[in-house]
């Protein structure tokens, strides 16, 4: 289906990558350096060597076709009509966990456009031509019919806030919005949303929630290539913000933060978007938040790909943890920019569960090596991944839930 609005989707975006404007000396895009998956130095343009392991599907399958570089080459061939979209090509494109490591590593572009974009662009093309993968159809239908990927009826949204005495937009107004995220009404996301509400109440923040009117931030729609659904949800979310006079959005989930970052760029300087970890770190800095409880725990923090590489937020979670008396923060070998993915993104758990499971277990193994008693995360998708780990896994807790116990 071709239309004017699609010119920058699918193969339209592949073209953007192939023929970069303003980069005459590198106009062919990928230079096949292998930095995005190889085991040598990460990137010749980097001062630091970077991680040994880079692309999760490549590390799992160990075939070149599962590298970001190969995804680019395949997209190029489809763009030029040399290959068609086959089930095999779909497998290669949809095994990307959307960890953004290749985006972080690839230094060939200086306009913010990287190899991960080409994967998403190919997903858009595939969805537009053939619809979603069968394994992703429930996610697609959930978004299309219920405005959330988990097919929760709209009437069941917002139940996470039951009993918390929060004010709902429509009945009340405020310039600050707590955006809970679709996982807030599921076991893996509820704790983060309720903890954020408690933090905001403790700080005396004047804020509202959306309750059953909250729609998905659109992360799944964007990352799985459901571009029409993404555009719809984006328009509806942006209209809600403008009509309600919201100037600050505080999100409970690191994955929502990545999409809200994109929205903030469109909304301009009048809107501020922060994750609960940034919010809490800001409160602690200004003295509005005091931790009275000592929490004698050794913890390790897992950087979610979307809050970390997706938004560049690495220090706020660590800052807030160090403010809590008694907490000992120990780092995993791969942390911050080089943090290893949990395998929970990109629709991989739904379509390639063995890859997602391996990824989560590998990250959990690394967490255990630190000697920590608990793994803290800042995204509901990471919580879900770690919840699937084997019985001897460390307990996992949402960062904000952990923080709130020290108030």
d(CA 249, CA 264): 9
CB-nearer residue toward ligand SF4: 32 or 164: 32
70 binds ligand SF4 (CB under 6 A): no
CA-CA-CA-CA dihedral for 243, 245, 248, 253, to nearest 10: -30
Strands 297-301 and 248-251 turn out to be unpaired
35 binds ligand SF4 (CB under 6 A): yes
36 binds ligand SF4 (CB under 6 A): yes
d(CA 382, CA 165): 28
Measured CA distances, 214 to 88, 136, 139, 157, 218 (Å):
37, 22, 17, 7, 11
The angle at the Cα of 107, spanning 336 to 90, to the nearest 5 degrees, equals 85
274 binds ligand SF4 (CB under 6 A): no
Residue range at the interface with ligand SF4 (CB under 6 A); choices 32-40, 213-221, 227-235, 380-388: 32-40
Q: Give the gyration radius of the chain's Cα atoms.
A: 21
222 binds ligand SF4 (CB under 6 A): no
SS3 54: coil
Measured CA distances, 256 to 111, 202, 207, 365 (Å):
23, 23, 18, 27
Residue range at the interface with ligand SF4 (CB under 6 A); choices 45-53, 77-85, 100-108, 128-136: 100-108
* One residue of 100, 122, 241, 267 binding ligand SF4 per CB under 6 A: 100
CB-nearer residue toward ligand SF4: 158 or 345: 345
CB of 121 to ligand SF4, least distance (A): 13
368-407: contacts with ligand SF4 (CB under 6 A): none
Helix, strand, coil percent content, the chain, rounded in steps of 5 = 50, 10, 45
d(CA 347, CA 333): 26
d(CA 377, CA 254): 9
99 binds ligand SF4 (CB under 6 A): yes
34 binds ligand SF4 (CB under 6 A): yes
Residue range at the interface with ligand SF4 (CB under 6 A); choices 102-110, 121-129, 262-270, 283-291: 102-110
121 binds ligand SF4 (CB under 6 A): no
276 binds ligand SF4 (CB under 6 A): no
* One residue of 60, 79, 116, 140 binding ligand SF4 per CB under 6 A: 116
Residues that bind ligand SF4 (CB under 6 A): 30-36, 54-57, 68-69, 72, 96-102, 105-106, 108, 115-116, 119
């Amino acid at each position: 289906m071709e239309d004017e609005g699609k010119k920058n989707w699918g193969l339209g975006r592949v073209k953007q990558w192939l023929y970069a404007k303003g980069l005459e000396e590198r106009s062919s895009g990928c230079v096949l350096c292998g930095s995005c998956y190889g085991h040598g130095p990460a990137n010749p343009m980097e001062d630091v060597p970077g991680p040994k392991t880079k692309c999760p599907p490549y590390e799992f399958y160990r075939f070149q076709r599962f590298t970001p570089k190969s995804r680019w080459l395949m997209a190029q061939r489809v763009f030029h009509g040399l290959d068609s979209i086959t089930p095999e090509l779909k497998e290669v494109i949809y095994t990307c966990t959307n960890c953004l490591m290749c985006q972080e590593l690839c230094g060939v572009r200086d306009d913010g456009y990287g190899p991960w974009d080409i994967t998403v662009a190919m997903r858009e093309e595939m969805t537009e031509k053939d619809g979603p993968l069968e394994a992703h159809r429930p996610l697609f239908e959930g978004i299309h019919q219920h405005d959330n990927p988990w097919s929760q009826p709209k009437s069941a949204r917002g139940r996470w806030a039951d009993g918390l005495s929060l004010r709902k937009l429509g009945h009340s107004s405020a310039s600050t919005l707590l955006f809970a995220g679709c996982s807030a009404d599921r076991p893996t996301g509820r704790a983060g949303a309720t903890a954020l509400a408690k933090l905001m109440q403790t700080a005396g923040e004047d804020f509202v929630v959306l309750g059953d009117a909250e729609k998905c931030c659109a992360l799944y729609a964007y990352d799985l290539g459901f571009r029409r659904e993404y555009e719809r949800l984006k328009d509806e979310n942006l209209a809600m913000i403008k009509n309600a006079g919201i100037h600050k959005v505080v999100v409970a989930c690191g994955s929502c933060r990545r999409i809200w970052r994109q929205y903030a760029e469109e909304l301009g300087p009048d809107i501020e978007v922060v994750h609960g970890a940034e919010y809490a770190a800001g409160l602690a800095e200004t003295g509005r938040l005091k931790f009275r409880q000592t929490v004698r725990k050794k913890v390790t923090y897992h950087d979610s790909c979307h809050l970390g590489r997706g938004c560049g937020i690495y220090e706020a979670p660590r800052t807030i943890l160090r403010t809590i008396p008694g907490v000992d923060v120990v780092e995993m070998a791969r942390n911050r920019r080089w943090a290893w993915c949990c395998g929970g993104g990109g629709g991989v758990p739904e379509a390639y569960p063995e890859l997602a499971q391996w990824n989560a277990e590998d990250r959990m193994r690394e967490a255990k090596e630190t000697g920590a008693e608990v793994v803290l995360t800042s995204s509901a998708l990471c919580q879900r991944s770690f919840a699937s780990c084997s019985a001897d896994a460390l307990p996992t807790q949402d960062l904000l839930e952990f923080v709130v116990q020290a108030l």
